[in-house]
Amino acid sequence: MQNTIEICILAAGMGTRMKSSKPKMLQPIAGKPMLLHLLDTAAELNPDRIHIVIGSGADNVKSLVSRQEVNWVLQAEQKGTGHAVMQAMPEFSSSSKVLILLGDAPLLRRCTMEKLLSEECDLGVLTVDQPEPSNYGRIIRNGQQIIAIVEERDANKEQRGIREINTGVMVASARQLQEWLPHIETDNDQEEYLLTDIVKIANQLGAIVRGVKTQDHQEVQGINTFAQLASAERHYQQMTVRGLMDQGVHFVDPNRVTLRGKLLTGQDVSIDVNCIFENDVSLGDNVQVGANCHIRDSQIGNNAVIKPNTIIDGAVIENDCSVGPFARIRPGTILEDKVAVGNFVEIKKSTLGRGTKSSHLTYLGDSVIGEEVNIGAGTITCNYDGVNKHVTEIGDNVFVGSNTALVAPVTIGEGSTIAAGSTITKEVSDKSLAIARGRQKNLRHWKGPRSK
């Protein structure tokens, strides 16, 4: 048995059927380019080397991946899958077993790769029973031996009835690939070097060719159109959500949630419909997430309630907090225990201390706010002077009246009260009442404008 494993990913296709300027391998599934999905899974096998064959949009593809273990192989002219492997052939160690993957089939699981690698054979072919096998190469067997892969256009009526199809994923020793590949010819409709031809060649040379069948045809589906990309996206989401439900997460409707990264959850988490989770998100025990929320790169503590239509990005929400509905929590924000943030409140790069409340219609930016502070409706921190950002500091137990403007840099001492409608430009000392508004004047017997 070979001492090392090398992986060769065929990723040279442009994807002309998508009619996109972006290389096909860079189209996203769950917010991540499909090539990275496959590369991350392949890396879990700890191969000796990973070779990626690139062609169309090569520079864009290379700029996406910064991994030392990746060896880039250029297929300047796309002359078929066999030709692609030929370009990588000089890079393989002769003692390696080579796993050949397709970059446009990104949802292949690690366990499937391992099963194929463990098969005792000279050439292993990953197959699947396809409910609609049209346009796929049919697997022709003689007992356990695969003797041929027949393309749809070449198949007779009996062969077209075969549901077991070729996925394009194969494994063989580098030494045998070096022996077989030179025998591939271009006598086909595409006039290309097709990798599937090595099945016939291996049989002619007396090799053992075995098929390993996966039970999930969606796992190996190729992606050439946006319709297929959408199908792969839905399959990925269903698999990921099912795994979280198995861990105890309650999704009100598992078909109406989108995961674009890693979601870690505690016990008794409930997630309503149409929520999006991006990058790294963690939810503590007993967290409730309402409908239509978008949470990205954030940590949410135990017993937090995230009400509908709330956006949280790059924030830390600690225990027993209530956020929303229609709140926007921006990067750099920390809400300590028992903070309540209500509707149409926007917070950016600010810390709100334990028990502080901002119930509605407020902007808090670049602020350090103490404990048990009440922020009235219509309050804003004026943190930007046109050039620089400035900090507003508010001590514990401050009451800020409605429609207050806090012009930073400014400090509000603990226990103070800011009268409604004030514009505060100077420091307010502890336990003071600050009133900063024009005096009211009432004119009696006022006769307003009259129409002529």
E strands within 366-425? 367-369, 374-375, 380-382, 392-394, 399-400, 405-407, 410-412, 417-418, 423-424
CA 417/CA 434 separation, integer angstroms: 6
What residues have CB less than 8 Å from 226, skipping those under 6 apart?
A: 18
Is-contact 103 35, C-beta < 8 A? yes
Residue 293 class from Cβ within 10 Å (0-12 exposed, 13-18 middle, 19+ buried)? Answer: buried
DSSP string, 251-268: ES-TTSEEEEEEEEE-SS
∠ CA 126-128-131, rounded to 5°: 160
Active site residue 294: no
State the catalytic residue, choosing from 183, 294, 360, 390: 360
E strands within 34-158? 49-54, 70-74, 96-102, 123-129, 138-142, 145-150
Q: Is the dihedral of CA 274, 222, 166, 243 positive or negative?
A: negative
CA 404/CA 425 separation, integer angstroms: 11
Residue 429 tokens, joined: 């000392």
Cβ atoms < 10 Å from Cβ of 372: 15
Residue 368 tokens, joined: 């350090």
CA 214/CA 221 separation, integer angstroms: 12
Residue 269 tokens, joined: 């988490």
- What 3-state DSSP class applies to 215? coil
Residues carrying an active site annotation: 360
